[in-house]
Amino acid sequence: MFVEQIYTGCLSQASYFIESNGEAAVIDPLREVDIYLKKAENRNSKIKYVFQTHFHADFVSGHLSISEKTNAPIVYGPNADPKYDCIISADNEIFVLGDLKIKLIHTPGHTLESSSYLLFDSDNNQHAIFTGDTLFLGDVGIPDVAQRYQGISKEKLAEMLFESINNKIKPLNDNITVYPGHGAGSACGKNMMRVTVDTLANQKKVNYSLNGKFSKIDFVKELVKDLPEPPAYFPQNVKLNRDGYVGIDKILKNNLKNLTADYVFDRIKSDDVIVVDTRNPLDYCHEHIPGSIFIGLNGRFAPWVGEILKDINQEIILIVEEGKEEEAITRLSRVGFDNCHGYLDSGIESWKTAGYPTENIKSIDPEQFINESSQNSQIIDVREKSELINGKFKSSKNIPLSKIDSNKKIDKNSTSYVYCAGGYRSVIACSILKRDKFKELVNVESGFSGISKLI
C-alpha cells in the first residue's frame, strides 16, 4: 500500500495518490495532472479511479483531464449532478483498489454532495479517511461556501455537517489517519491547524466539532457566525468543475505567448485588459507599468488573483521574471483564469527600451515609517480582522485587502501608509489604490512583523 499527500501551498490544497498492486487512485487532483500520471508510471501502475469529494469552489480540479488520459472513471457521492459521464456512488459503496478497499461515506454539510473516502488495508482494517472539505484539522468546512441551494439555509447545511462528522466520522477507529482537503490559509474554513496530517484520536481532542464542546445548536451558531461571503470566483470554479473545462495542455498552448511592448501598450489602452505584475514586491515598487496590478508569484498568487480580479473571464497580460512564464499561467489556470493573452517579452526592460513610461511606489522600512507617520497620518492595515489579535499600529484603520477596492472611507488626496503582516499584501493594496488614482502611497516593508519589533 502506498499513500502520498500532494500539498500545494499556494492553494493550501491537498490531493492524494493511492496505489496497491498495480492499481492507483487519485483524490481531488490539481488541474495540471502530469504529476499523477508520472507517479502511476513510476510505480508501474494504472490509475483506476478518480475520486472527487465534492464540486470544488477554490480551484479547478484535474478530474476530467485524468479521466480523459487514462479512461479512469470519475466518482462522486450522492446528490452530485455533473454534466459529464461519471459514477454517482451510493452511500457506503465499496471500491476495490489492488488489495485495498475504499468506502465512500456521504458526509453532506459543506455541500450537498460532499463525501469522504475511508481506506481499508489488505487485512480489512480501517487505515485512513480522506475528508475533503468536511473535516479539517482543528476545524470544519464552511457550509455553502459558493453554492446557494434553493430552499436550504446555511443553518441547515451546518446541521447536516454536524451530523455527518459526529454520526459518520467520529465513530471510526481512533488510530486512523485523517487526510483533509485543505490546510491553514484556505478560505474553505475559518481556523485550520498548520499541520496537514493527523490522527482521528487527536482530532477528537482538539477539534470543536468532535470533542463535545458544542451541542448541535451551539455548533450551528458558532459555524454560521460571521460567515464570510465567498470570493466572486468561487461559484465560477464550481461551474467549471461541474460542467467541464479546457485541459491545461491547451491552455498553455494558447496562453504561453511572448508579447511586444508595442502590443501591450496598445492593448492596455482598453479597459478590458489588466496587466498583472508577478515580480518581487520591491521590484514592483521601484518601477512598474502604469495601471498594472501587483500580485507576486512568491505568495498566495492564485487565490489573490481570484479575490482581486473576481471574474475568471478577465483578460490578463503578465509581467514575469524570465523562466517563470509557464508557472504563472499554470497557477492562473488553477483558479480558472484562462483568458491570458501572454507575457511581456523581456519584461519591464523591453517596456523601457521601447520608450514607454514607468511609475513607482514609495517603499520604506518600519523604522522610517514610525519616524515619518504621525497621529494624523492615514495609516491603512490591510490584514484580516482575525490577525489583529497580534496587535496593531496606533491610529491605523483596518481595511482587509479583499475589501480595499470597495472601501469609500479612504481619502484619496492624503498620504496613505499601507502595511500588512509581512509586506506582500500591502504592495497589492498599493497597486490597486494607485490604479484608483490615489495621490500618494507609501508601502511599509516587512509589515506589522517589522513594526511590532519597534513599538
pLDDT tens digits for range 170-208: 999 999 999 999 998 887 777 789 899 999 999 999 999
Cell numbers for 262, please give them: 508595442
Q: Which residues of 389-403 are buried (b: 16+ CB within 10 A; e: fewer)?
A: eeebbeebeebbbbe
What residues have CB less than 8 Å from 372, skipping those under 6 apart?
364, 417, 442
| 246: three-class secondary structure by DSSP | coil
Do the Cβ atoms of 7 and 183 come closer than 8 Å?
A: yes
pLDDT tens digits for range 388-402: 999 999 989 999 999
Which one, of 89, 109, 124, 94, lies nearest residue 166 by Cα? 109
| Sheet containing 46-51: order of strands | 2-8, 13-20, 23-27, 46-51, 74-76, 87-88
Cell numbers for 173, please give them: 477507529
Predicted model pTM: 0.94
Helix (H) or strand (E) holding 443: strand 440-444
Q: What pLDDT was estimated at residue 284?
A: 98
Cα angle 355, 361, 366 (rounded to 5 degrees) comes to 150
pLDDT tens digits for range 19-53: 999 999 999 999 999 999 999 999 999 999 999 99
Instruction: Tell me the C-alpha distance between 358 and 312, whole Å.
Output: 27
Cell numbers for 323, please give them: 523562466
Cell 461551474 maps to which residue?
Answer: 239
Cα angle 73, 74, 76 (rounded to 5 degrees) comes to 140
DSSP string covering 20-68, please? ETTEEEEES-BS--HHHHHHHHHTT-EEEEEE-SS--SSS-BSHHHHHH
Q: Identify the structural domains of the chain with CATH numbers, from first to last.
A: 2-234 (3.60.15.10), 246-353 (3.40.250.10), 362-451 (3.40.250.10)
Which one, of 297, 305, 246, lies nearest residue 274 by Cα? 305
Q: What pLDDT was estimated at residue 430?
A: 98
Q: What is the CA radius of gyration of the chain?
A: 23
Phi, psi angle pair for 257, to nearest 5° = -125, 135
Mean pLDDT of 240-258: 96
Cell numbers for 318, please give them: 503578465
| 82: three-class secondary structure by DSSP | coil
**Paired strand residues for 381:** 398, 419
Q: How confident is the model at residue 376 (pLDDT cuts 50, 70, 90)?
A: confident
